[in-house]
Amino acid sequence: MSQSGLGKSTLVNTLFKSQVSRKSSGWNREEKIPKTVEIKAIGHVIEEGGVKMKLTVIDTPGFGDQINNENCWEPIEKYINEQYEKFLKEEVNIARKKRIPDTRVHCCLYFISPTGHSLRPLDLEFMKHLSKVVNIIPVIAKADTMTLEEKTEFKQRVRKELEVNGIEFYPQKEFDEDLEDKTENDKIRQESMPFAVVGSDKEYQVNGKRILGRKTPWGVIEVENLNHCEFALLRDFVIRTHLQDLKEVTHNIHYETYRAKRLNDNGGLPPVTTETEENHESNL
Amino acid sequence: TSAGGFFKNKLCETGVFTDHEKQYVGFATLPNQVHRKSVKKGFDFTLMVAGESGLGKSTLVNSLFLTDLYKDRKLLNAEERISQTVEILKHTVDIEEKGVKLKLTIVDTPGFGDAVNNTECWKPITDYIDQQFEQYFRDESGLNRKNIQDNRVHCCLYFISPFGHGLRPVDVEFMKALHEKVNIVPLIAKADCLIPSEIRKLKERIREEIDKFGIKVYQFPDCDSDEDEEFKQQDRELKESAPFAVIGSNTVVEAKGQRVRGRLYPWGIVEVENQAHCDFVKLRNMLIRTHMHDLKDVTCDVHYENYRAQCIQQMTSKLTQDNRIESPIPILPLPTPDAETEKLIKMKDEELRRMQEMLQKMQQQMQDQ
């Protein structure tokens, strides 16, 4: 999630070491910025070590690009809630499937523009609204535009602003299960995040190794070099250590919150698929 | 000018007029005289910078003029920015180099493009530019024109984000609102986050879009056909590099044994004045060393004259509408005169009245006779 041009597609490709973003799915990047926020979901099946994963990448072209961006997060909030609704319907079905198809959004990477100053008003508005319905992981995009000093200062300022504005990004403090979790997550929350990343789908030869990077006239930026940027930290965090937890928090917390609210609105009864129900759904 | 130069050198060398030189009148020294007077008077230049916050505008201005104009600036945080409106801030600094004085005014536009809803966020800026034109117009039409202060904006550096894929809607709207009021020089900001192929693509894209949307950015004038090939080559390169991809820096780093303005990254050092790294030198040369005067000329001869013509036209049409006067000659708005001028005007009015009275009396007497 971000304004256009902050490297979302490239980063996702880099994360999953395969062409999984809209950019590589033939959508012409050179086309105009859409006038309204669009939601484009593309599913892929990737495999590693015998483990198959169905990965769905949801992109939101048009977000934050207009002159007037008021409420541009609404279509996104709507989409997320629609997925919860779909799951809920399936769950309360009498003859429900054994494995309910899960289209819920487990993680939202929010890209912050590396201005070096602070968050933008749009960033605050978006994260305030959406941290209540989905796991948000803020990421500083195109971090190769900041020196080490600037990066450290910027991260501190962003963390402070998020705290002051009561924005709970993933991993949320209140969901730490035990002391071990808390210690590990505290360190991530207070020191590492937001991860300052650089993405690239081009390979270069550095010191005899082929690495993903960006070649500038003054040097090669190595994406997976921790001295250069925190891409590797983000990748390990999202994929190697917290992938399952992201799904669990989505299911046990965000989804349950949605479900409880829906049941409450319906007088404690599960929603029934009737004519009126269909109308109700469209009002969400 | 080459003839003048020849004679000038001769004068300097011998200090005495030869027979040959007695044949010439001597006005070839005019350029020198103008030069001396200009240097005594000093120069002034007003530069506006516009673009979203965080694009390195302040750093670039400091790098261009080797100043430190923003020492006490307090940056707003995101929450404070939610209710911020676009402001116009002026910093004036007097700088001197080799005896030449420059009064430099930087007009800053904090808040532009930062809000969630940026509809018409350029209005305070167009209003400001119009106000300076209006002020000049009044001064020019006034009674005392000795010390007119020229606060008109001579050039607007517009910073385009390097993080986009070209111009954003707000960029297009801003430039279209201003291209007939001020010389716009678009720049690609923070260009050190782009690799050379990305810069090329972005420049191409921006040029295409500027064409497509009919935006009239400042055009570098063509050089004279009698210039040497090297100069022509430089001029070509300048035009082909637009929009300039720039980097600024307030810090000095050590690169290859030299201390230069730059940015130190873990993967290398970006040198602001290295032409292989960015177009900063091209921008500085263009803005300060070669085109500063042309920028002022175009402001005076084109943008201001447009404004003035429009103003007069509006006044004329208003007057003919009011049916107060049928002549097409426009009545210039008199500026609010100062106290002394008012006194003068009152005195003159009194005199006129007395003379009219006398005339009437005389006419009466003649009739009576």
Nearest to A215 among B118, B164, B195 (CB): B195
Mind giving me the DSSP string for A67-127? SB-TTTTHHHHHHHHHHHHHHHHHHH-TT--SS--------EEEEEP--SS---HHHHHHH
Give the CA dihedral A249, A254, A260, A262, nearest 10 degrees: -150
Quote the CA–CA distance of B138 and A200 in Å, as a whole number: 57
Q: Is the pLDDT reported for residue B191 higher than 60?
A: yes
Subunit contact B163:A215, Cβ cutoff 8 A: no
Quote the CA–CA distance of A32 and B181 in Å, as a whole number: 28
The DSSP secondary-structure symbol of A165 reads T
Mutation pick from B84, B260, B265, B269 vs chain A, by most beta carbons of A within 10 Å, is B265
Quote the CA–CA distance of B176 and A199 in Å, as a whole number: 34
Q: What is the pLDDT of residues B238-290, one digit of tens each?
A: 899 999 999 999 889 988 888 889 999 999 999 999 999 999 999 999 998 88
Least Cα distance to B44 among B90, B84, B112, B10 occurs for: B90
Dihedral (CA of A255, A256, A260, A266) sign: positive
Query: Would you state the structure tokens that stand for residue A49, as one six-digit string?
Result: 């070590």
Subunit contact A68:B117, Cβ cutoff 8 A: yes
Are B157 and B129 within 8 A, CB to CB? no
Note if the bond before A114 is cis, omega within 30 degrees: no
Looking at beta carbons, which residues of chain A come within 8 Å of B81? 118, 120-121
CA distance, residue B291 to nearest chain A CA (Å): 29
Subunit contact B114:A120, Cβ cutoff 8 A: yes
Nearest to A144 among B77, B193, B277 (CB): B193
Report the Cα A284 to chain-centroid distance in Å: 22
CA distance, residue B190 to nearest chain A CA (Å): 7
Quote the CA–CA distance of A120 and B161 in Å, as a whole number: 14
Quote the CA–CA distance of A121 and B78 in Å, as a whole number: 5
* Amino acid present at A11: L
Q: What is the pLDDT of residues B202-227, one digit of tens each?
A: 999 999 999 999 999 999 888 888 88
Subunit contact B79:A142, Cβ cutoff 8 A: no
Q: What is the pLDDT of residues B152-170, one digit of tens each?
A: 999 999 999 999 889 999 9
Are A202 and A10 within 8 A, CB to CB? no
% of residues, chain B, pLDDT over 70? 88
User: What distance separates the 2 farthest-apart alpha carbons in chain B?
Assistant: 106
B5 in reach of chain A (CB within 8 A): no
Q: What is the pLDDT of residues B2-11, one digit of tens each?
A: 444 454 444 4
In this prediction, residue B231 carries a pLDDT of 82
Nearest to A124 among B79, B161, B162 (CB): B79
Quote the CA–CA distance of B297 and B187 in Å, as a whole number: 21
Looking at beta carbons, which residues of chain B come within 8 Å of A218? 192, 265, 267-271, 277
At A58, which helix (H) or strand (E)?
A: strand A51-59
Q: What is the pLDDT of residues B108-157, one digit of tens each?
A: 998 888 888 899 999 999 999 999 999 999 998 888 888 788 899 999 99
CB pairs under 8 A between A and B: 121
Give the CA dihedral B321, B324, B326, B327, nearest 10 degrees: -110
Subunit contact B266:A120, Cβ cutoff 8 A: no
The strand pairing partners of B146, in sequence order, are none
Strand bridging mode A209-216 / A203-206: antiparallel
In this prediction, residue B234 carries a pLDDT of 84
Q: Is B8 exposed, middle or buried (0-12, 13-18, 19+ CB in 10 A)?
A: middle
Q: What is the mean pLDDT of each run of 10 residues along chain A (284 residues)?
A: 83 74 47 71 84 87 86 92 93 84 93 90 93 95 93 94 93 88 90 92 86 92 93 91 92 94 79 46 34
Mutation pick from A27, A30, A33, A115 vs chain B, by most beta carbons of B within 10 Å, is A115
Q: Is the pLDDT reported for residue B201 higher than 80?
A: yes
In this prediction, residue A280 carries a pLDDT of 37
Q: What is the pLDDT of residues B292-346, one digit of tens each?
A: 999 999 999 999 999 999 888 888 887 777 655 444 445 555 555 567 777 777 8
Nearest to A161 among B52, B77, B269 (CB): B77
Mutation pick from A8, A10, A67, A203 vs chain B, by most beta carbons of B within 10 Å, is A67
CA distance, residue B167 to nearest chain A CA (Å): 10
Quote the CA–CA distance of B116 and B131 in Å, as a whole number: 27
In this prediction, residue B87 carries a pLDDT of 87
- pTM for the full predicted model: 0.81
The strand pairing partners of B89, in sequence order, are B108
Q: What is the pLDDT of residues B49-62, one digit of tens each?
A: 999 989 999 999 99
Give φ, ψ of B47 to 5 degrees: -120, 125
Looking at beta carbons, which residues of chain A come within 8 Å of B174? none
In this prediction, residue B1 carries a pLDDT of 44
Are A54 and A44 within 8 A, CB to CB? yes
